[in-house]
Amino acid sequence: MNAMRTPHIAVCLKVVPRPEEVKVNLETRTLDRANARQQFNPPDVNALEFALALREKHVGRVSVLSMGPPFFAEYLKLALAVGADTAYLLSDRAFGGADTLPTSYTLARGIAKLGDCDLVVCGEESSDGATAQVPPGIAEWLGMAQVTYGSDLEILPERWRLKARRELKGGHEVITVPLPAVVSVRVGANEPRFIDFARLTGEPLGVTVWSAADLGVDPAMVGLSGSATVVAGVDRAETVERRRELLTGTPEEKARTLVERIAVYLARGTRPDGAAASSPAAHA
């Protein structure tokens, strides 16, 4: 039935500050991210790669979508240069300060406006938000099935379902869900391709910008006013002061000193649950 059907895949891309360049201002208890250089949220690059690989297999098209300030457009152009077909930036002052509730709502409205999305691919979590909840949120707003922590994505054309491996605590599962669906993928789950700079400099690459009015959203549902959570403060993460004692000599001498130093930790005892340490097996 679906033999002729080709998927329209949307990829949600977020641009984030490089983590090592974000500083905490302890006086004002705010984050200084203004001077931090930006990058694609790492797993989102894997999300884009999955979408492009699926398009190679099943034809169809790939749209990239982002909610953020105007400078995100430059990054969306990079996504076009890597091979995405169309790019949309949801950008409006009203979207600012959004937590995951309005973020997932706004992205869902953008995806709905694309019209005919069969699959939405996201990253597992963002390095600045680190919530992993935007993808399930999008799925809920759109009433779509969801797969989180996914890898090995496949579209089963005869059944029009997505098949994916999904990480579990202490294991994994392989599941299928009907399309349309939202999937979030693990960082490093595939090997992203390089940017085709010919595409970047060749044809004019357009990014369509949609405002709150374009999406027809109620301003009270987006951005800061749509958010349910409030940041009460920020802090530098506490770091434990370590001894940092340098052990010197030959490898044997270092090992000997170390054994003396850590002898108390080597005392064998049963673990609290009484279980023996399980033997590690090589990963196939």
Ligand X SMILES: Nc1ncnc2c1ncn2[C@@H]1O[C@H](COP(=O)(O)O)[C@@H](O)[C@H]1O
Ligand Y SMILES: Cc1cc2nc3c(=O)[nH]c(=O)nc-3n(C[C@H](O)[C@H](O)[C@H](O)COP(=O)(O)OP(=O)(O)OC[C@H]3O[C@@H](n4cnc5c(N)ncnc54)[C@H](O)[C@@H]3O)c2cc1C
Residue 20 or residue 27: which is nearer to another protein going by CB? Answer: 20
Q: Please tell me whether residue 192 binds ligand Y under the rule CB under 6 A.
A: no
Tell me which of 123, 150, 223, 226 binds ligand X, using CB under 6 A: 123
* Token representation of residue 81: 């240069």
CA distance 51 to 55: 6
202 touching another protein, by CB under 8 A: no
Rounded CA-CA distance 168/165 in Å is 10
| Buried-exposed string 186-195: b where 16+ CB fall within 10 A, e elsewhere | beebbebeee
Residue type, 120: V
Question: Residue 42 interacts with ligand X (CB under 6 A)?
Answer: no
Interaction mask 35-74, ligand Y, x per CB under 6 A: -------x--------------------------------
Phi and psi torsions of 106, nearest 5°: -65, -45
* Count of C-beta atoms within a 10 Å radius of residue 263: 9
**Pick from 6, 38, 39, 131: which binds ligand X (CB under 6 A)?**
131
- CB of residue 197 vs another protein: minimum separation in angstroms? 27
Candidates 38, 113, 128, 192: give the one binding another protein (CB under 8 A). Answer: 128
Min dist CB 125 to ligand Y, Å, is 7
Residue among 46, 91, 103, 127 that touches ligand Y (CB under 6 A): 127
- Which helix (H) or strand (E) segment holds residue 8: the answer is strand 8-12
Closest CB 241 distance from ligand X, rounded Å:
31
Nearest-angstrom CA–CA distance, 11 and 115: 14
Task: List the structure tokens of 128.
Answer: 């600045």
Closest CA to 146 of 116, 181, 100, 178: 181
Residue 145, judged by CB atoms within 10 A of its CB (0-12, 13-18, 19+), counts as middle
We find the least distance from the C-beta atom of residue 16 to ligand Y, in angstroms, to be 10
Q: How many residues bind ligand Y (CB under 6 A)?
A: 3
Tell me which of 66, 91, 146, 151 binds ligand X, using CB under 6 A.
Answer: 66
Which of 45, 51, 67, 183 binds ligand X (CB under 6 A)? It is 67
Q: How far apart are CA 48 and CA 54, in angstroms?
A: 10
For ligand Y, the closer of residues 5 and 33 by Cβ is: 33
Q: Which residues contact 230 (CB under 8 A, 6 or more apart)?
A: none
Q: Does 277 bind another protein (CB under 8 A)?
A: yes
Residue 64 tokens, joined: 């990239």
- The correct pick among 37, 171, 201, 203 for binding another protein (CB under 8 A) is 171
Query: Can residue 110 be called a binding residue for ligand X (CB under 6 A)?
Result: no
Number of residues in contact with another protein under rule CB under 8 A: 100
* Positions in the binding site for ligand Y (CB under 6 A): 42, 127, 187
